[in-house]
């Protein structure tokens, strides 16, 4: 099948995921993120450039999008993706590999993720940072929520670390199905996965909440997280830049979420808060 490759540069970069969501609704099937943007792919037969240029996202005065389009001839996409996909090592604590990578000794935890040209494989800075923060804590027998779970990599890590029960939520149907697949690959069937958003957070309570989404959604949903986080519970947030941290801290403080510390990797940020 012949594909259209769309190369986008987004300014400011914190809006990358908002643009990706809009393109996903249009029909783009896969995304490969880079420093200030991404490549997106859609079957040529499903692409109408006139309708594409009329998308509302291009009318948003706060988001500047530079893009180029080219036709990619038919090729073995899975083989191409696999050839560019490397296993991920986080200290000596976590080894993340695809099914086509060999196992590797010397790591406390190993997770198998089917990449399928998706996020959440540990390569992106935010996933890496969230995993590092989580690995700093003892979470055995603690209840955990993974919001915007993507491939469910963080929920699977939490399962391997002994957390239970675990709930994973994503509003993207593809992510929901891929989460179920990866949970099965890692013998983590105890993880419950729901298709939806923060509106599902009612009559529940968690010891730990993970939310690796984006700045705007985090700012909107922090009140919902705070409402279901137990006293002394941990809230780990990522999906934003270090420059966005003051806004995140200010919003969290309004809901008695005490800022503890943060990590940075290539300007991306992950922060830890504790419910007072």
Per-residue pLDDT for 120 more than 60? no
pLDDT of residue 166: 98
Cβ within 8 Å of residue 152, ≥6 positions away: 120, 146, 168, 178, 179, 182, 183, 188, 191, 193
Stretch 82-101: mean pLDDT = 81
Which among 149, 151, 88, 89 has a CA at the least distance from the CA of 117?
A: 151
The pLDDT of residue 251 is 97
What does the pLDDT read at residue 16? 86
pLDDT of residue 81: 57
Rounded mean pLDDT, 44-52: 92
The band of 157, judged by pLDDT with boundaries at 50, 70 and 90, is very high
How large is the average pLDDT for residues 93-100?
88
The share of the chain scoring above pLDDT 70, in percent, equals: 92
Helix crossing, 153-160 with 173-185: angle to 10°? Answer: 30
β-pairing verdict for 94-97 and 109-112: parallel
> Mean per-residue pLDDT for 78-100?
77
Q: Tell me where in the chain the CATH 3.40.50.150 domain(s) lie.
A: 119-275
What are the backbone dihedrals phi and psi of residue 63, each rounded to the nearest 5 degrees, phi first? -125, 125
Give the pLDDT confidence score for residue 33 in this predicted structure: 75
Domain 119-275 superfamily per CATH: Vaccinia Virus protein VP39 (3.40.50.150)
Q: Rounded distance, CA 94 to CA 100, Å? A: 17
As a whole number, mean pLDDT of residues 177-188 equals 93
Lowest mean pLDDT among 72-86, 101-115, 166-180, 242-256: 72-86
Q: Report the alpha-carbon distance of residue 274 to residue 276 in Å, rounded.
A: 6
The b-or-e profile of 213-224 (16+ CB within 10 A means b, else e) is: bbbbbbbebbeb
Rounded Cα–Cα distance for residues 98 and 113 (Å): 5
Q: What is the pLDDT of residue 163?
A: 98
Predicted confidence (pLDDT) per residue in 57-72, tens digit: 999 999 999 999 998 8
Predicted local distance difference test score (pLDDT) of residue 73: 76
- Name the average pLDDT for the chain: 89
Classified by CATH at the fold level, domain 3-75 comes out as Alpha-Beta Plaits (3.30.70)
Q: CA-to-CA distance for 122 and 104, rounded, in angstroms? A: 16
Query: Given pLDDT bands bounded at 50, 70 and 90, which one contains residue 224?
Result: very high
Average pLDDT over residues 109-137: 79
pLDDT level of residue 118 (50, 70, 90 thresholds): very low
Token reading at 30: 């896969």
122-133 pLDDT, tens digit per residue, is: 557 888 899 999
Give 100-168 as a 3 state SS string.
CCCCCCCCCEEEECCCCCCCCCCCCHHHHHHHHHHHCCCCCCCCEEEECCCCCHHHHHHHHCCCCCEEE
In this prediction, residue 274 carries a pLDDT of 98
At 122 the pLDDT is 54
Does residue 222 register a pLDDT over 60? yes
Domain with CATH 3.30.70 in the chain: 3-75
């Amino acid at each position: 099948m012949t594909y259209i490759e769309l190369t986008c540069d987004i300014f400011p970069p914190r809006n990358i995921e908002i643009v990706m969501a809009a393109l996903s609704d249009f029909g783009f099937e896969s995304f490969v993120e880079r420093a200030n943007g991404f490549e997106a792919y859609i079957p040529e037969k499903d692409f109408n450039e006139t309708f594409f240029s009329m998308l509302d996202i291009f009318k948003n005065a706060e988001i500047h999008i530079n893009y180029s389009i080219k036709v990619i001839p038919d090729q073995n996409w899975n083989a191409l993706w696999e050839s560019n996909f490397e296993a991920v090592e986080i200290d000596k604590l976590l080894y993340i590999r695809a099914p086509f990578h060999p196992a590797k000794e010397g790591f406390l935890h190993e997770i198998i993720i089917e990449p399928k040209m998706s996020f959440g494989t540990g390569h992106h800075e935010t996933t890496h940072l969230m995993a590092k923060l989580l690995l700093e804590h003892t979470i055995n027998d603690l209840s955990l929520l993974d919001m915007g779970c993507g491939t469910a990599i963080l929920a699977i890590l939490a399962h391997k670390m002994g957390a239970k029960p675990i709930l994973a939520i994503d509003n993207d149907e593809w992510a929901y199905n891929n989460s179920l697949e990866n949970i099965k690959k890692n013998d983590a069937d105890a993880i419950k996965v729901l298709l939806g958003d923060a509106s599902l957070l009612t009559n529940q309570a968690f010891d730990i909440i993970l939310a690796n989404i984006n700045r705007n959604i985090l700012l909107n949903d922090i009140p919902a997280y705070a409402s279901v986080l137990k006293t002394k519970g941990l809230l780990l947030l990522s999906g934003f830049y270090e420059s966005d941290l003051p806004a995140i801290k200010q919003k969290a403080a309004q809901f008695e979420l005490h800022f503890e510390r943060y990590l940075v990797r290539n300007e991306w940020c992950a922060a830890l808060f504790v419910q007072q």
